[in-house]
């Protein structure tokens, strides 16, 4: 289950350039497109005439035209016209609240009246010229909560990502977990270590030596419904670690927007934002490709995990102290899910 009264990243602007996009979000089949004056629109992906997928149609002068019989839809979900037919009495299909912000298209699959754009998270790195971003999209066949677990416990890096970002010191460093309102934060620091390959490359890219000891940090921030931002970086040892001056470190924010498709599949929008050499597009692409390979390794593990959990539904999973971030994130999700449940007569009476 997933909260529906929340903003989710549905797609990126380039995915709706010139044509509609069909995508399922939280079990809801939607079509996204650019309506008049470039405004983003989101409707049910269901033609009210014969049930065809509107996403297989086209956009003509800001109108969504069904590719089956030419029915023209307005962005409010009402049928506007159809060649040679009277369609004014057709029932409206659902229109979803949708906002383009921070370089992403956000959709609210829940109750329309609760969709406040002010609830979309503030992303400093997305709106500042001092930062640059590169990322991608994976479709992953797993429960969205498994991805949250994965990102809130980076111990797995030693084993899953041994050739890129993993190192044995991750296992050895203690983890602290705390909650601030609806945000869960896990953090780990490793001092006087040798940078693994991915970070050695980033040190060199920032004009720093890659063969000297560094202080490394990982600070994972979970925000509901399913966003995880991870502050990561390395600084030359003894220069202040996380607080080191920019000329002594290479630091970034790992961006993770996890959008449920179904209960066992997700759209995973991943990327990395950095504030050094922001004008170097070749470096951005190099980092994007390297990070993409890392996340592909996660995908293989998570999809196999989901297959096991589906096969062995009654097996109880064990918890360790390293799981605290994921456990606390799930508690917040469970509370939000409970808030969305309609009150029964007995509950209403008790209230």
β-partners of residue 106 are 9, 99
Burial class (CB in 10 A: 0-12, 13-18, 19+), 158: middle
Q: How far apart are CA 184 and CA 327, in angstroms?
A: 10
pLDDT digits (tens, 9 = 90+) for 196-228: 999 999 999 999 999 999 999 999 999 999 999
Nearest-angstrom CA–CA distance, 178 and 330 = 14
Write the pLDDT tens digit of every residue in 121-139.
999 999 999 999 999 999 9
296/306 Cα distance (integer angstroms): 15
pLDDT of residue 226: 97
Measure the CA–CA gap between 187 and 125, rounded to whole angstroms: 20
Strands 28-34 and 40-44: antiparallel
The domains found in the chain, sorted by start residue, are 8-118 (2.102.10.10), 128-337 (3.90.380.10)
* Predicted confidence (pLDDT) at residue 28 exceeds the cutoff of 90: yes
CA distance 69 to 265: 32
DSSP track, 140-170: E-S-HHHHHHHHH-GGGHHHHTTTTT--THH
The secondary structure element, H or E, covering residue 275 is none
Quick one: which H or E segment has residue 347?
A: helix 345-350
74 vs 52: CA distance, rounded Å: 16
**pLDDT category, 322, cuts 50, 70, 90?**
confident
**Statement: residue 351 has pLDDT above 50:** no
Determine how β-strand 28-34 pairs with β-strand 63-65: unpaired
């Amino acid at each position: 289950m997933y909260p529906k009264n929340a903003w989710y990243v549905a797609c990126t602007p380039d995915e709706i350039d010139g044509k509609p996009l069909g995508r399922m979000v939280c079990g809801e089949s939607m079509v996204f497109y650019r309506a008049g004056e470039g405004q983003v629109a989101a409707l049910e992906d269901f033609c009210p005439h014969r049930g065809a997928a509107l996403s297989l149609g086209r956009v003509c002068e800001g109108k969504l035209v069904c590719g089956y019989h030419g029915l023209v839809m307005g962005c409010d979900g009402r049928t506007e016209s159809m060649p040679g037919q009277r369609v004014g009495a057709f029932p409206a299909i659902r229109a979803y609240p949708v906002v383009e912000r921070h370089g992403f298209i956000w959709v609210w699959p829940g109750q329309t009246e609760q969709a406040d754009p002010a609830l979309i998270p503030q992303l400093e790195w997305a709106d500042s010229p001092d930062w640059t971003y590169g990322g991608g999209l994976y479709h992953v066949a797993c429960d969205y909560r498994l991805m949250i677990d994965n990102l809130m416990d980076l111990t797995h890096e030693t084993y899953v990502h041994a050739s890129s970002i993993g190192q044995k010191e991750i296992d050895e460093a203690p983890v602290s977990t705390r909650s601030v309102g609806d945000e869960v934060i896990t953090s780990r620091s490793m001092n006087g270590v040798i940078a693994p390959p991915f970070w050695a490359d980033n040190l060199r890219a920032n004009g720093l030596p890659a063969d000297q000891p560094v202080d490394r940090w990982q600070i994972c921030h979970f925000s509901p419904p399913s966003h995880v931002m991870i502050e990561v970086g390395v600084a030359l040892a003894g220069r202040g670690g996380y607080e080191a001056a920019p000329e002594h470190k290479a630091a970034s924010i790992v961006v993770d927007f996890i959008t449920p498709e179904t209960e066992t599949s997700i759209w995973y929008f991943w990327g990395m934002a950095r504030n050094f050499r922001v004008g170097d597009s070749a470096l951005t692409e190099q980092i994007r490709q390297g990070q993409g390979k890392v996340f592909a390794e996660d995908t293989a593990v998570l999809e196999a995990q989901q297959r096991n959990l589906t096969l062995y539904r009654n097996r109880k999973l064990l918890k360790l102290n390293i799981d605290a971030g994921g456990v606390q994130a799930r508690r917040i999700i469970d509370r939000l899910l409970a808030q969305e449940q309609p009150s029964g007569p007995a509950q209403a009476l008790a209230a």
